[in-house]
Amino acid sequence: MSIDIIISNIKNDAEETPERLLLPQNFVMVGEPTLDEKKIYILQNAYNDLHLFTADKTVNESGGFLVGYVIEEFGKTNIVVKGFVEALHTEATPTTLKFTHKTWAAANEVFEKEYPDCRIVGWIHTHPDIGVFLSEYDLFIQKNFFTEDFQIAHVVDPVKKIEGFYYWRQGKIEKSNGFYIYDEVGMTISGLGTVDVFEEQPETKRIPVQSIVIVTLSLASLILIVILLLQADKVKMLETEADSLSSDMALAISQYEERIKELEELNNELLSESSELRHQTVELNIDLEEMMNNISILETEIEKMEEAKEVADANEGDANPTDQDSGNDSIDGEISEIETD
């Protein structure tokens, strides 16, 4: 079974649930007693309207909405169905049901006029001659559009005259063992037995090829969408990483360029200092060479003067000591002058 639901039109919460609601006091149980934390009550008029609506829907699927309220009491969630709203303007086949914009527009008008204090507590659809169960697509609808913990699903097979309620339990969807039809105190509750609620389902269900194809295509589309979303996330993550790496590389390149510039300036300074040192070295070498030449000249002059002195001493051996000393003083003065120069 396939249903197209326009989520923007779903009216889960119309008005706030009326205060001081009481659990139904006049009711009969259908099916087996349920010990679960949820109980389902449906008003007798709503139950009869629902089955009058589905009785002749033996060819194409049909559906609608269950409206009511929820009472939390005695540790249980009591889901009270007060009314059934037919889904009008649908597009239906033996295995599919589509709720159109007109469907939701008409349903919202009924909600506002007839059930202003109620909320959507569930939905109903038929399975003409294919039994009572929730197909994979039914489960998809329940899990995506009727996600509130109190929202139920009701399936009716008007050909085999069987039905069943499904509800949320600890995050999973389970079939209820039974439910309650209620009415005002003093009213007789009748009309039971027209539908065999919990007849065992045949082991083999007749599922049309069209339904299988639709479900397969729907699942393939969902898988493709998930894959595309995952790929988009990966691409976005890679783009973010690339931007980060690009920024880091740009910063590193800038730092390297600044360092290279500093090294070039330092190298230029060292080259300049080296050139100056070489120039100073050349000047020192010239000065040193000049000093060595001067020393050599002085040494030559000293040798000459010593030879001259020796010659003078030899020629004036008999001279007076006083004169000799005077001559020595003169020679010593000349030597001093030469050393000074």
Binned at pLDDT 50, 70 and 90, residue 119 comes out as: very high
pLDDT band at 32, cuts 50/70/90? confident
Q: What pTM did the predictor assign?
A: 0.55
**Three-state secondary structure string covering 263-315:** HHHHHHHHHHHHHHHHHHHHHHHHHHHHHHHHHHHHHHHHHHHHHHHHHHHHH
Using alpha carbons, select from 175, 151, 146, 174 the residue that is nearest to residue 162. Answer: 175
Half-sphere exposure of 318 (CA within 13 A, CB side): 0
- pLDDT tens, position by position, 63-101: 999 999 999 988 899 999 999 999 999 888 888 777 789
CATH 3.40.50.1110 fits 2-201, yes or no: no
Q: Which of 16, 217, 52 is nearest to 126 (CA)?
A: 52
Q: What is the pLDDT of residues 234-259, one digit of tens each?
A: 888 888 888 888 888 888 898 888 88
More confident residue, 208 or 105: 105
Q: Residue 235: its pLDDT value, please?
A: 87
Q: What is the pLDDT of residue 326?
A: 53
Q: Where are the domains of the chain?
A: 2-201
Amino acid of residue 99: F
